[in-house]
Structure 1
Amino acid sequence: MKLLQRLEAAHLNGLSVALGVAATHIVVGGLFGETAGLAAVGGAVCASLTDVPNPPQRVLPRVLPAAFAAAVVTALVGVTDGSLALTLAVVAVVSFLSLMTLAWGLRAGPLSFSPVLAMVFAMAWDRTTGATSPWAHALWVGLGGCVYAGWARAAAVVLRHRLRELALAAALRATAVRVRSRAQRIALAVGADEARIRASIADDVMLADALQAARDQVFAARRSPRSRKQTDLVLGLIELRDLLLASRLDTELLGQDFPARQWRAALADTLRHLADVLAALADAVAYGAPLPEVSAEAWRAQLAARLADICAPDGDSRTHLVSALASRLGHMLDDVGAMVARQALRDDIDSPWTPEKLAPFVSPEGWPLAALKPHLTLQSSVMRHALRSALALSLAYWLGAALPWAAHPFWLMLSVAVVLRGNLEQTIARRNNRIIGTVQGCLLVLLLAHVHWVPLLSLCFIAAVGVAHAYVNRRYRVAATAATLMALLQPLMLAPGSDPFIGERLADTVIGAGLAWLFSFVLPSWERAAVPRLATQLRGALARHAANMLRWMPSPEEQLAQRLSRQQAYTALAALAAAAQRTRVEPESVRLPDAQIEGALSHGYRLMALLGAVQHQVQRRNARLDAAKAETALPLARKACVDVLNGEPMTGTDPAEIPDGDAGAWPEHLGQQDLTPWLLRRLRLCRHEAREFVAALDRLPAPRPPSPR
């Protein structure tokens, strides 16, 4: 039981898939015979690709389309068997239509591969059992997919509580990692490469993914005392991320002299302690460990005492800046303390967060046909990838049929399918891991070739199914090793002691990986082409976020709009950051320049941090603000920021504040009751960063006309 408790969500999902495939084989084989059982296994494996950790209500809408597609493709392959021309046509059409499903986004990734895998299984059918008609074969495949769908739905119900706990724990650990990373940067304990904005953004993207996974699991849960606690914890982590982002502001103004290094060390050590508490809270959520002991007041006192012991020159104005930074850190300490206290409460607390309010923050679901329309053009990266894949897989099958070892041409096609991705970065990574994983899998098969006991080989096959599923998006090299076992164990299960075709498998993998890499340059979709679209989306998202955040005492409805626009802005920033990461392996002639892309990202994240800092000050420190001045300044700043982000002439700016010459100075903070000067400074900086951000986007290179080949 303790071993099961230590399994991560991906491991539990892989174990569930392996058991589901085995159960499908047992049920269908027991009712309709071994031939039907083997065919049903193919349908179950194809359907299982879309069975990822999800709330129960999301399982069937994802798994059943994959089962249906597998049955249809199986029938098409069966009726065209024996004709190379017709088979090539089926390969091209199925590949194209499968990859066009990526128009629905990342959630369609598993679905896009399911028909291709079904095509491979159907082509291999006559070489394994071959004792049924194409229509009967398709029927058994469809039945296997449906049986597996029922298993997947039942497993999701059984595992729902555990998956929510693991998603929460993963989000807590990702936040702890981000807090430690921020502490390292404050303490100047990172190298030059790690100090760059791109490395920091990579951490932010990992945290955003973990938070979204937690939202999808927790916000979709039925309302109960347990789910309300979990919802409060997720919402607390989201607020903590905003505070952490705001903690970037002004730290560079501390400098690097001796007092500055001592101040930095004190702030960084407090952040590390906070990260330790988050990690302990993750263990409490995931494994039932005791809750950590937390006292925000004690933390504050320790930090204040340490800062007071630092000797700074008389009249050093940085003491006011240090006081402001310590105050921001105090808000983070309060929030973490509140999270721990909320988990310790046994009484149920009414929450204003109804399922209707939480629904907009959950990842979109469904397959609306309207999503395909924008991609019915050669300018679309989805369309170009679908055409590229159709050409590559068709050529791979034809070449496989023409090679001297033409017994398994679909192996070459499968190698191309799993390696060729929508961008060059992922294709290169898949190419290398596919080759290494195949070699590792072949070595394992050499050992298993001496095993003649079919039940043991079957057990290894089922285990390989689960491992491949668990690691396909985490460590593809492990998944490729397991996939090789799956492919080469099938003939051994049918004929123990036979030739496992290891040499052919290795050759097909190397040739297929090379073909996939070469086809990355056919109808390429370089990141430069996506920049105008990403820039427009990002400017619009930040304009909406600025319009929502720069408000005095927002109502509950306005606070909900703030959270939603914040999520959209983070998503848009992450999309540009991902493009910046992918472009690094592209040919130099089309690569996005590092300096310009990092400049745009830096100003974008800084603007997000400032908007968050303004709203935190309005909501947490309103008693220390001059309401009349704040209510006058906020609409002016809001109008100015929205105008510049929308590409309009800046209006709404207080003439007395042009040209923001003092935007980099900081007001007094230590011992000051009125913090309005800090609010006004942040509003000036918001306008400044909005202008700089738009200018940085304008400096990005324009896309070149797409190459026709």
Structure 2
Amino acid sequence: MHYVLAPRTLFFSHYFYTGLRIATGVVGLTGLTYHFADLPTAMAVAIGALCTSLMDLPSPLRHKFNEMLAGVLTCSLVALLVGLCSPVQWLLRTVIVLVSFLASMMTVYGRKAMPLQFVALFVMMLSSGAAATPLQALRHGALFFAGGAGYMTYAMAVVWLLRRRLKQQVLAEALYELASYTCIKAGCYDMANFLPAQMEKLVRQQSALAVRQQASRDLVLRGKPKADEAVLVQVHYAMFDLYELVLSTHTDYALLRQHFAGGPVLPLLGDLIGKAARDIESVAYAMTRNRPSHPVIDYRDELRALDAALRALPPADSEDANARAVLRATFNKIRDMIAMIARLHGASAAPRGTLPMAAGADLTPFLTQQRYSIGILLSHLRWTSPTFRFALRVAMAISVGLLSAGWLPYKSHGYWTALTIAVILKPNFSMTRQRRTDRLVGTLIGCILTAAILYVVHAPAVLIGFLFVATAAGPTFLSIKYRYTAIAASMQSLLLIGLTMPHGGGAIEERLLDTVLGTLIATFFSYVLPSWEYQNLPCLVDAVASANRKYVDAAADLLLGRAIDDFHYRINRKRFMDSLGNLSAALGRMLDEPAAQQRAPAELNRFTVQNYLLMAHMAALRLLLLRYPENMPRAEVEAALADAFAKVRSNLGTAPAQDTVPDDGRTVRIAAWRGWAPLQRRLHLLQQDAAQLALSGAAIDSALGRDVHRPASKTAST
């Protein structure tokens, strides 16, 4: 369950703060306007404020200003244009098609442009409801702009005042995701969990974690931190160090299960990592409450029990020796992870002023950049572009929705049908399918709840209170549980009708019928000019392959001492994680599409898991060398690493290279170094998984019908 869905954590999250901020701004601005003007004026201002509030998302201040200003200007222009064209039906329909198409083309700029697309469509629908004279259109556009600009000013002021609080909450969300990731790791030691399925869950969670970590980077590391933000930077860096350690705890789970099933060892390992997940969660919870965190979880009983269980194991034969070594290495890493969590607690309570990064370090490559070039949009004005086809699909569906609303046996509000289409119809089939269900169920529940409220409550002040709650709930759950947002949106609309038209009977039934009609139209058009996920898979697989090669090269440079610091390693690891997350997300969306449109799901699952394992091995190698610095035979270690990396790059690594170092005393030095055996085991696993990655890459090429002119045992991925 997402942490926001628990009441204990909901009220400290940035989702709740955003919902509360939006409700206060929209309802407060509406009430203020109504105090000085009439109801129609207040409603026009309210629409401007409401539309602008949909752009009020957690972002760096400069990005937020740009996004909200774009929303105010674009939507004011749309409101004015549609209002001026409303008296001429053929012109109005032409503008509706054009605006629908252009607004949907804006999704080419990525996830941040999705709210702007919806807001533009929302404004267009509301403004097309009734014919207006040019003077009325100008007045409505001016009031809309005033409402939008007023809300933007209010929101920017509040976010500026609470900017440290927002950074805390976004950083805490990344910690919550890290806790969930660690909890899934604990499940790998549970024999009741099917290991391949558990690994797939781990990869999916790693993708979600990467998104939250990027949001934390964008807020915490952008610009020069203030003195009171030094703690946030410290926690952020400690979080990433802990993440790399948790990542490195990947081991040969199948070997451990084979040799220690039924005994106390595996449950104790799972319990320890499960406790670590709850410990990380306690840091996140303390941060959302603006408090330093302190260790509250005691690991001593499990550590003593596991240590005793290890000593009680019978003498190992040659077959069990490797499993024992893997088990002890895992135990050591878990203890390191517990120590790192203690450091995370300490970072949250550290004194101000100390920043764990080099002065003047250029962090730009780690941060999300805004790029809204007109050339990007123009380059997608082609038939093969998924965005272009989506824009055509939306324009046709909304046009049909507005036309068909006029055929209903009651005075329909066509904008509600079109709004349902805009909510449901998304660039990919998977999201469209989910939104369709949530919209139907949410509207039904919202209508029932509103009917009960309007039947029992008649006092305007109480109804305004319910309206405030609905207005706050909508944005709170928008990206977490859209069904709740659909419930809130239905209640918000119907409560407004109840307040402004107390005798507007039939509104609830009409909204239900309009929603059903919009759902049917959106469902039909989701199959028109489709862009199925499998069509994008070759590009995504190639992107992972390219990022993989660069990450391996960066890791080799770092481990072999050819890099001055770990900057290039970290940036290439980030890019590798991002590309792997994109592929994993596309795979998840494809599995929601019709079976006839799915390609190579098993091979892609295997490919993503093997890439994840490669990243885990690299992290483990790095920490292994840091763990055993004493008596390290540098020349022999570098020779073993170079040999392994060469084999990984050429996809020939199926077994570790044998030690061929002449016995001139160096063999003695190797034997004296405690890290040699763990290094050999890790390099063996690395080469095994690289070979498996080669096979899975070749299987994907075969399943997708790609002729890449390479042997079946090779892939570009490594």
In the TM superposition, residue 576 of structure 1 has moved relative to its aligned partner by 1.2
Cα pair distance change 1:441/1:259, threshold 3 Å: closer
Q: Which residue of 2 aligns with 1:443?
A: 448
* Residue 516 (str. 1) matches residue 510 (str. 2): no
SS class of match (2:624):
helix
> Is this contact kept in 2: 1:449–1:496, CA < 8 A?
no
> Is this contact kept in 2: 1:580–1:592, CA < 8 A?
no
Alignment match of 1:360 (pick from 344, 365, 383): 365
Alignment match of 1:266 (pick from 265, 268, 278): 268
Cα pair distance change 1:663/1:672, threshold 3 Å: same
* Residue 617 (str. 1) matches residue 627 (str. 2): no
Alignment match of 1:496 (pick from 484, 495, 502): 502
SS class of match (1:446):
helix
> Is this contact kept in 2: 1:197–1:601, CA < 8 A?
no
- The residue type paired with residue 613 of structure 1 is A
> Is this contact kept in 2: 1:624–1:673, CA < 8 A?
yes
Cα pair distance change 1:485/1:398, threshold 3 Å: same
CA–CA separation in structure 1 for the residues paired with 2:296 and 2:504: 62
In the TM superposition, residue 440 of structure 1 has moved relative to its aligned partner by 1.3
- The residue type paired with residue 483 of structure 1 is A
- The residue type paired with residue 206 of structure 1 is A
Unpaired runs of 5+ residues, structure 2, are 1-6, 660-669, 707-718
Cα pair distance change 1:142/1:326, threshold 3 Å: same
What is the 5 A alignment of 1:305-704? 305-311=308-314, 313-314=316-317, 316-317=320-321, 318-346=323-351, 348-353=353-358, 356-450=361-455, 451-551=457-557, 552=559, 558-638=565-645, 640-642=647-649, 644=650, 660-662=654-656, 673-683=673-683, 685-700=685-700, 701-702=703-704
Alignment match of 1:228 (pick from 227, 230, 242): 230
- The residue type paired with residue 538 of structure 1 is V
* Residue 190 (str. 1) matches residue 196 (str. 2): no
Q: Which residue of 2 aligns with 1:153?
A: 156
SS class of match (2:80):
helix
CA–CA separation in structure 2 for the residues paired with 1:530 and 1:405: 44
CA–CA separation in structure 2 for the residues paired with 1:449 and 1:350: 56
Cα pair distance change 1:562/1:308, threshold 3 Å: same
SS class of match (1:186):
coil
CA–CA separation in structure 1 for the residues paired with 2:347 and 2:194: 38
- The residue type paired with residue 291 of structure 1 is H
- The residue type paired with residue 690 of structure 1 is A
- The residue type paired with residue 695 of structure 1 is L
- Compute the RMSD of aligned alpha carbons: 3.2
> Is this contact kept in 1: 2:560–2:638, CA < 8 A?
no
Aligned length: 685
Cα pair distance change 1:492/1:283, threshold 3 Å: closer
Unpaired runs of 5+ residues, structure 1, are 645-649, 651-657, 705-709
CA–CA separation in structure 1 for the residues paired with 2:190 and 2:541: 33
Between 44-53 and 21-30, report the one with greater CA deviation: 21-30
Cα pair distance change 1:462/1:347, threshold 3 Å: closer
Q: With structure 1 as the length reference, what TM-score do the two structures score?
A: 0.88
Q: Which residue of 2 aligns with 1:207?
A: 209
In the TM superposition, residue 26 of structure 1 has moved relative to its aligned partner by 4.1
> Is this contact kept in 2: 1:528–1:703, CA < 8 A?
no
Cα pair distance change 1:671/1:67, threshold 3 Å: same
In the TM superposition, residue 208 of structure 1 has moved relative to its aligned partner by 2.3
* Residue 174 (str. 1) matches residue 181 (str. 2): no
> Is this contact kept in 2: 1:198–1:577, CA < 8 A?
no
In the TM superposition, residue 416 of structure 1 has moved relative to its aligned partner by 0.8
SS class of match (1:623):
coil
Alignment match of 1:250 (pick from 252, 255, 264): 252
> Is this contact kept in 2: 1:603–1:693, CA < 8 A?
yes
CA–CA separation in structure 1 for the residues paired with 2:324 and 2:349: 37
Q: Which residue of 1 aligns with 2:40?
A: 35
Cα pair distance change 1:293/1:625, threshold 3 Å: farther
> Is this contact kept in 2: 1:553–1:619, CA < 8 A?
no
SS class of match (1:7):
coil
> Is this contact kept in 2: 1:492–1:500, CA < 8 A?
no
> Is this contact kept in 1: 2:56–2:155, CA < 8 A?
yes
In the TM superposition, residue 513 of structure 1 has moved relative to its aligned partner by 1.0
Q: Which residue of 1 aligns with 2:51?
A: 46
> Is this contact kept in 2: 1:50–1:111, CA < 8 A?
yes
Cα pair distance change 1:663/1:83, threshold 3 Å: farther
Between 478-487 and 77-86, report the one with greater CA deviation: 77-86
In the TM superposition, residue 599 of structure 1 has moved relative to its aligned partner by 1.4
CA–CA separation in structure 2 for the residues paired with 1:374 and 1:697: 30
> Is this contact kept in 1: 2:653–2:690, CA < 8 A?
no
